[in-house]
Structure 1
């Protein structure tokens, strides 16, 4: 059992970076490592799930000049009345914001056995995305124009700052078989200050008292965009500097809660000045 798109989650967690300068109109992101503890938030009886426990680890390195490398791991133990199973979803991506290119490897393990692998690269053109898949099969694809994960999250931060509260966008993250575009619908609430009872806010360190936007992103299969029910949706709090916390991932029959347990910010590499 895989919980939605690990690649989409990795893209979401790009916002746990801290926005700094914006060269050439694109936000630069501080390299960092964020850790989230996972637990079952709720489940329908038909899901058969009695418990889920796990951890997400997201690590990003690079710069807006050299591109960003992301390593993401999403490990869960799923308990039902009949079995317990460990799933391990691993994603590695490289996104060059200036060149408009994206490379990805997604692997999913079940009880330490490789269950699936998706590997390929994509390049954004004026009106499309050209994809070269290496696994699960070698194939070339031409898809509609969409944003790659980091650009998608930069767009979200910009719209939140501009006061937009609802918008739609398209994202390509190489998930599943790497052959589809996801339609996203995003709702951004009014920024709020954390309450005195908000224990997780303390994990944000120096930003613990900063205001944050409540955000919900619903993901739809672009090929089935007439569907009224999303494949899954993710809710979280978004700070103006890009930090996210209080994750909830809703898959319909059940939902997971992700609590920010640790945040380490690495030294940022400054871009060399252009001639």
Structure 2
């Protein structure tokens, strides 16, 4: 799961995957659906200290690939922020490639304010026996070694697998290349009991053929690495998760302000094509 960066939203200078684990009849096999999802964003809550008077935007997530070839995501998070003194257009553009079999993850994030590039973070990470090794190329070339952690697609697969097994809570470290790309985060995931969409649930209708399927309410909280105490998380995301991995009705809590995201369009890509059979 990619997280919209807090710094990007405020200064412009960010995991949502549509995942379907095909577990029945295939020992250990997990199939991910190529797709494109669009979410309309609006300000749900805000504190006086945030310096924000209004905010709205759009988030687009495109997911392609396969278990054998690896998975590519293209993620764009655009907001228009009213500070009371001016209007600011922020634009975060992230591309990642994750190879579950090889334990590798590449990431490139560009952050813009009013069409001006403010920041770019580029690098690659590999899952070593001792932990995560990160090679950053931008903004500065350097090497970082981190505690063992999961990459975004791997983490989302675990969320779904726990939901299917009825496990309501788990904790895991995550590396997604966000912020400066040099630290992992501790995540705590809470999964509610399955629910059925209400008849007046307008957001459900945009899930297309999956609109009437049961879903799990899921909340994931993110904490700074090695700093998870009694303090509040740096970021929290809640969403409705179907058993095929489709997510909708998002709530993104940054502490001083909260954004809601409504699924406005879902397109399943390359539907019906056979999946890889890796050995």
> TM-score, normalised to structure 1's length?
0.93
- Tell me if 1:256 matches 2:262: no
Aligned pair in 2 of structure 1 residues 107, 26: CA closer, same or farther (>3 Å)?
farther
- The aligned residue for residue 129 of structure 1 is 132
- The aligned residue for residue 218 of structure 1 is 221
Cα deviations by residue, 1:159-191 (Å, 9 ceiling, x for unpaired)? 011111111111001111111010001111111
**In structure 2, distance between residues paired with 1:149 and 1:108:** 20
- Tell me if 1:201 matches 2:204: yes
Q: In the TM superposition, what is the alpha-carbon distance from 1:80 to its structure 2 partner? A: 1.9
Q: Which has the higher helix share?
A: 1
Within 5 Å, which residues of 2 pair with 1:1-275? Answer: 3=6, 9=14, 12-14=15-17, 16-20=18-22, 25-226=28-229, 228-267=231-270, 270-273=274-277
**In structure 2, distance between residues paired with 1:249 and 1:210:** 23
**In structure 1, distance between residues paired with 2:99 and 2:210:** 28
**In structure 1, distance between residues paired with 2:221 and 2:138:** 27
Q: Secondary structure at the match of 2:206?
A: helix
**In structure 2, distance between residues paired with 1:154 and 1:236:** 15
**In structure 2, distance between residues paired with 1:274 and 1:145:** 25
Q: In the TM superposition, what is the alpha-carbon distance from 1:46 to its structure 2 partner? A: 1.7
Aligned pair in 2 of structure 1 residues 157, 258: CA closer, same or farther (>3 Å)?
same
> TM-score, normalised to structure 2's length?
0.91
CA RMSD of aligned residues (A): 1.9
Q: In the TM superposition, what is the alpha-carbon distance from 1:25 to its structure 2 partner? A: 2.4
Aligned pair in 2 of structure 1 residues 82, 148: CA closer, same or farther (>3 Å)?
same
**In structure 2, distance between residues paired with 1:5 and 1:84:** 15
**In structure 1, distance between residues paired with 2:229 and 2:146:** 18
Aligned pair in 2 of structure 1 residues 38, 273: CA closer, same or farther (>3 Å)?
closer
Q: In the TM superposition, what is the alpha-carbon distance from 1:274 to its structure 2 partner? A: 5.3
Q: In the TM superposition, what is the alpha-carbon distance from 1:4 to its structure 2 partner? A: 5.5
**In structure 1, distance between residues paired with 2:277 and 2:59:** 36
**In structure 2, distance between residues paired with 1:178 and 1:192:** 36
User: Is contact 1:2–1:87 with CA below 8 Å preserved after alignment?
Assistant: no
Number of aligned residue pairs: 270
**In structure 1, distance between residues paired with 2:8 and 2:230:** 18
**In structure 2, distance between residues paired with 1:45 and 1:4:** 18
- Unaligned stretches of 5+ in structure 1? none
